[in-house]
């Protein structure tokens, strides 16, 4: 396999090519001028004006002296070809006058006709040729500069890009080795930027990125560097950070800068940022290692709550590797049918009859055994794998419920958890319809459990989807009620059938007055809105008694049954009511 060229090496190669181009341009100009001088000398000879050694010396000196001057002028974009040509024409005319003076001083016969021929050739041939050549060279030079700029800079913000930043870090490392100084690389990722893009559109997001870039540029010292890596990611090089405390102060300042409100198109919003910091030389001695480790530390900052910073630690790599391995396993799990559904009964505590069930995914890894959903569901949501996994759960649950009905069991509602990411897919309603049609299950026997998190964005679209599903006959319940961010106004607008009291409130209702008050308040609100309520995580007789007292009709929990595979759930349905 061919060895992949490093970005720094590619950049040096590009610089070398650019220098070679400039030398080639000078050689091209020399050749043009030499050719023009040869033509002038030949024309003089044809016109009967003989050339002597002084004519050849003059032509040679003009070519040698004027070409470098013109080449240097072309490299300055601010100088137009006509202005660059003016001093060259003056020099060439001056050379003619010097030649004439030398002939007089040396008592040679003055060749006025030859001098006039030279000046005429200069005006009629040399000047137009050089003008067009200089124009072409200037256009080429401008194109090269533009391409070089595009190769090293981000088009949106004008900041150096990843490749340029790596070169800058590489040069700073070489200087730091000589001086013994330390430097730090910071990897910055804007928090909640994806939500901004999804809500206001990419054009709005571009304006926010441009403003963020301006804030970073305006605050950093002249010796420091900032670049855009792509998306909502920026990197910063701080060249003099002798102590970690110096880097901390810079990170705190950046967080403060990017946490201030952004006023864009009449909207004011805050995003914040997460920062990872890698120090030279302890965290890496080359640009790529430093940037990779700073990136790793940034993800750790996000995991710890965002809008903060973290210094790189070696053990962070273990977490990253585990995450990558888990992601690869997840990709294979669907293909190799490693997922399985367990089912937990939902019971009417007044009649002790089962009136529904919840489908819960389990991952039966061939080597590690069962992996808890808490370990892989967050990763599946982060990587987008939750979409195909969620579709599999929906199809499998519908098929299993229909299979029980065909086997003669009384019809029960099947509750399926829906991730906000899955719900916000544009074809989500069609996915539900396909699952129902494929399985033959009637919509009234499917209940979709959503979370309050879906109310954070595109509320009108959320309501429209929920209303469409309700009109089809699908039941909607709000899972983990009380733990999210939706307002009571959203709850009133959402076409839902049931509230599900989160397990964290049920767990301590008999010993914690606050939890007891929250559960009672949820019950009162649900009754006023004419919504059903189910309490999950019920495990003790004391909890059951409390829920009976406040007239909570449905429960789900270990007091009746833990989640079990399909064949064991069949036995539960055969169990007579207590």
The beta strand positions in 382-501, using DSSP E, are 413-417, 446-450, 475-481, 498-501
**What string of DSSP letters covers 42-80?**
HHHHHTT----HHHHHHHHHHHHHHHHHHHHHHT-TTS-
- The top-scoring range by mean pLDDT among 56-70, 154-168, 432-446 is 432-446
Q: How many CB atoms lie within 10 A of CB 416?
A: 23
Q: Which of 2-6, 549-553, 556-560 has the lowest mean pLDDT?
A: 2-6
* Nearest one of 137, 119, 140, 127 to 68, comparing CA atoms: 137
Supply the pLDDT for residue 74: 62
What does the block give as tokens for 314?
């070696």
Q: How many CB atoms lie within 10 A of CB 34?
A: 16
For 287-346, how does the pLDDT look when each residue is reduced to its tens digit (9 = 90+)? 989 998 999 899 888 888 788 999 998 888 777 777 777 888 888 888 889 999 999 999
The confidence band for 410, taking pLDDT boundaries of 50, 70 and 90, is very high
> Which helix (H) or strand (E) segment is 277 a member of?
strand 273-280
For 56-87, how does the pLDDT look when each residue is reduced to its tens digit (9 = 90+)? 776 666 666 666 766 666 666 545 656 666 66
Give the CA distances from residue 500 to residues 401, 511, 534, in Å, rounded to whole numbers and listed in that order.
21, 21, 5
Q: Coil, strand, or helix at residue 229?
A: strand
Please say whether the dihedral angle defined by the alpha carbons of residues 278, 279, 284 and 286, taken in this order, is positive or negative. positive
Helix 53-74 with 7-46: angle, nearest 10 deg: 150
**Average pLDDT score over residue span 202-207:** 89
Percent of the chain with pLDDT over 70: 73
Which structural domains are found in the chain, ordered by start?
162-312 (3.30.70.270), 323-574 (3.20.20.450)
Answer for the pair 560, 539: CB distance below 8 angstroms, yes or no: no
Name the average pLDDT for the chain: 82
Residue 136 predicted with pLDDT over 90: no
Residue 146 backbone phi and psi in degrees, to 5: -65, -45
What is the value of pTM for the model shown? 0.58
The confidence band for 556, taking pLDDT boundaries of 50, 70 and 90, is very high
Q: Which of 113-122, 267-276, 291-300 has the lowest mean pLDDT?
A: 113-122
């Amino acid at each position: 396999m061919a060895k992949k060229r490093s970005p720094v090496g590619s950049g040096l190669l590009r610089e070398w090519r650019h220098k070679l181009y400039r030398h080639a341009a000078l050689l091209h100009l020399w050749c043009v001028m030499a050719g023009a001088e040869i033509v002038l000398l030949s024309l003089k000879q044809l016109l009967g004006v003989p050339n002597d050694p002084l004519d050849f010396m003059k032509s040679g000196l003009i070519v040698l002296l004027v070409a470098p001057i013109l080449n240097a002028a072309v490299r300055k974009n601010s100088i137009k070809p006509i202005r660059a040509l003016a001093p060259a024409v003056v020099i060439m005319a001056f050379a003619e006058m010097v030649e004439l003076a030398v002939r007089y001083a040396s008592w040679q016969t003055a060749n006025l006709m030859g001098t006039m021929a030279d000046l005429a050739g200069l005006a009629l041939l040399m000047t137009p040729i050089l003008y067009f050549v200089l124009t072409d060279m200037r256009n080429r030079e401008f194109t090269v500069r533009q391409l070089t700029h595009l190769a090293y800079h981000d088009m949106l913000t004008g900041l150096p890009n990843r490749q340029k930043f790596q070169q800058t870090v590489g040069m700073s490392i070489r200087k730091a080795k000589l001086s013994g100084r330390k430097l730090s690389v910071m990897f910055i990722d804007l928090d909640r930027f994806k939500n901004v893009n999804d809500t206001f559109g990419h054009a709005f997001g571009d304006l926010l990125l441009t403003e963020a870039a301006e804030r970073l540029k305006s605050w950093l010292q002249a010796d420091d560097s900032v670049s855009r890596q792509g998306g909502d990611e920026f990197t910063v090089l701080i060249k003099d950070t002798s102590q970690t405390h110096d880097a901390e102060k810079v990170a705190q300042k950046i967080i403060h800068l990017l946490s201030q409100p952004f006023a864009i198109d009449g909207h004011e919003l805050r995003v914040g940022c997460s920062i990872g910091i890698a120090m030279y030389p302890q965290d890496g001695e080359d640009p790529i290692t430093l940037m990779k480790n700073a990136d790793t530390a940034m993800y750790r900052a996000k995991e710890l709550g965002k809008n903060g910073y973290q210094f790189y630690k070696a053990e962070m790599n273990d977490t990253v590797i585990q995450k990558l391995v888990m992601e690869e396993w997840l990709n294979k799990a669907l293909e190799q049918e490693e997922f399985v559904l367990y089912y937990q009964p939902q019971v009417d505590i007044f009649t002790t009859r089962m009136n529904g069930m919840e489908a819960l995914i389990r991952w039966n890894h061939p080597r590690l055994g069962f992996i808890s959903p808490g370990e892989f569901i967050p990763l599946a949501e982060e990587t987008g794998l939750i979409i195909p996994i969620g579709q599999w759960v929906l199809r499998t649950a519908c098929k299993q419920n229909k299979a029980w009905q065909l086997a003669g069991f009384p019809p029960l509602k099947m509750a399926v958890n829906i991730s906000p990411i899955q719900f916000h897919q544009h074809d989500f309603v069609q996915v539900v319809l396909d699952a129902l049609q494929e399985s033959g299950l009637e919509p009234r026997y499917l209940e979709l459990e959503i979370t309050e998190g879906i109310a954070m964005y595109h509320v009108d679209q959320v309501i429209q989807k929920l209303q469409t599903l309700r009109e089809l006959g699908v039941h909607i319940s709000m899972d983990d009620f009380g733990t999210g961010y939706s307002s009571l106004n959203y709850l009133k607008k959402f076409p839902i059938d049931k509230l599900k009291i989160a397990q964290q409130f049920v767990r301590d209702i008999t010993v914690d007055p606050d939890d007891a008050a929250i559960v009672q308040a949820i019950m009162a609100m649900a009754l006023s809105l004419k919504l059903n309520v189910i309490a999950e995580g019920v495990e003790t007789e004391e909890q059951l008694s409390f829920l009976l007292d406040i007239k909570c009709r449905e429960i789900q929990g270990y007091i009746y049954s833990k989640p079990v595979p399909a064949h064991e759930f069949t036995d539960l349905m055969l169990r007579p009511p207590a």
